[in-house]
Amino acid sequence: MRLVIARCSVDYSGRLNAHLPLATRLLVHKGDGSLLVHSDGGSYKPLNWMSPPCTLTLEVPDAEAAEDGVVQQWRVTHAKSGDALVVRIHEVLHDSNHELGIDPGLIKDGVEADLQRLLSEQVSIMGDGLTLVRREYPTAIGPVDLLLRDAAGGTIAVEVKRRGDIDGVEQLTRYLELLGRDPGLAPVTGVFAAQEIKPQARVLAADRGIRCVTLDYDEMKGIDSGAPRLF
């Protein structure tokens, strides 16, 4: 990746035309060929860019551009559309190249799989005397996130979500109806567990006889969430 901070103007031509007047900007030329033009504002969004597949060519500024103070001219051309991004550089303040290597990609924390795993290890969050039968308990319409037994031998089906809405309650209702037909499991009660449960989902769950449990992901990981507590 090449990072250049320069006083430059930028012109985009193709399906639309756009002009950035002379100013100090950050030019990011990535290994995939793309070029992004950033200012010191606007959050993460570039002012203009060219996406791959594209090619960067260094051009000699014409006499008029040279007279105006242009010392470098970049032309980035899209291989398919022919759109072009022309950068006219008047002064280079910084120019460096960096080898970033292969990126492993974004690893999301707090997804439903993480919640399910942590909850399977901490079933006491949902009540005393509970034991885990199985994660991803198979049914004809899909796996139930957690299947538990209570102290009296009753079966509990748990649906785990990051954000609990009506669809999640409906999903758990279908599981409960199906599991309840199995004499080895019946009667089956349900728990709807999520980091955040919408009011409409709570109302529907209560109407279906399903208990709601709000999960504190940081606390489950052993991190103080900072949320105020009574004790």
Residue 206 in any domain: the answer is: yes
What are the residue ranges of helices labelled H in 22-165? 63-67, 112-121
Q: Report the pLDDT value the prediction gives residue 230, as an integer from 0 to 100.
A: 40
User: Is the domain of 90 the same as that of 181?
Assistant: no
Distance CA 197, CA 204 (A): 11
User: Is the domain of 90 the same as that of 12?
Assistant: yes
Question: Of the residues 97, 122, 142, which one is the last residue of a structural domain?
Answer: 97
User: Is the domain of 116 the same as that of 204?
Assistant: yes
Q: Phi first, then psi: give them for residue 15, nearest 5 degrees.
A: -65, -20
pLDDT, tens digit, 9 for 90 and up, residues 121-146: 999 999 999 999 999 999 999 999 99
Q: Report the pLDDT value the prediction gives residue 109, as an integer from 0 to 100.
A: 55
Which whole-number Å values give the CA distances from 122 to 31, 115, 126, 135, in the listed order? Answer: 45, 10, 8, 13
User: Is the domain of 195 the same as that of 126?
Assistant: yes
pLDDT, tens digit, 9 for 90 and up, residues 184-200: 999 999 999 999 999 99
pTM beyond 0.75, yes or no: no
Number of structural domains, the chain? 2
* Domain residue limits at 80: 2-97
Residue 231 in any domain: the answer is: no
Answer whether residue 147 shows pLDDT above 60: yes
User: Is the domain of 115 the same as that of 160?
Assistant: yes
Residue 106 in any domain: the answer is: no
Question: Of the residues 45, 72, 97, which one is the last residue of a structural domain?
Answer: 97
User: Is the domain of 221 the same as that of 116?
Assistant: yes
Average pLDDT, the chain: 92
Lowest mean pLDDT among 31-45, 49-63, 127-141, 162-176: 31-45
Residue 37 in any domain: the answer is: yes
Structure tokens at 214: 């709000």
User: Is the domain of 58 the same as that of 122?
Assistant: no
Averaged over 26-36, what is the pLDDT? 96
Q: Report the pLDDT value the prediction gives residue 231, as an integer from 0 to 100.
A: 38
Q: In what order do the strands lie in the sheet with 155-164?
A: 131-137, 144-149, 155-164, 188-197, 211-214
Which whole-number Å values give the CA distances from 158 to 5, 196, 206, in the listed order? Answer: 54, 15, 15
Residue 230 in any domain: the answer is: no
User: Is the domain of 60 the same as that of 135?
Assistant: no
Q: Read off the CATH number of the domain in which 81 is found.
A: 2.70.180.20
User: Is the domain of 221 the same as that of 115?
Assistant: yes
User: Is the domain of 29 the same as that of 69?
Assistant: yes
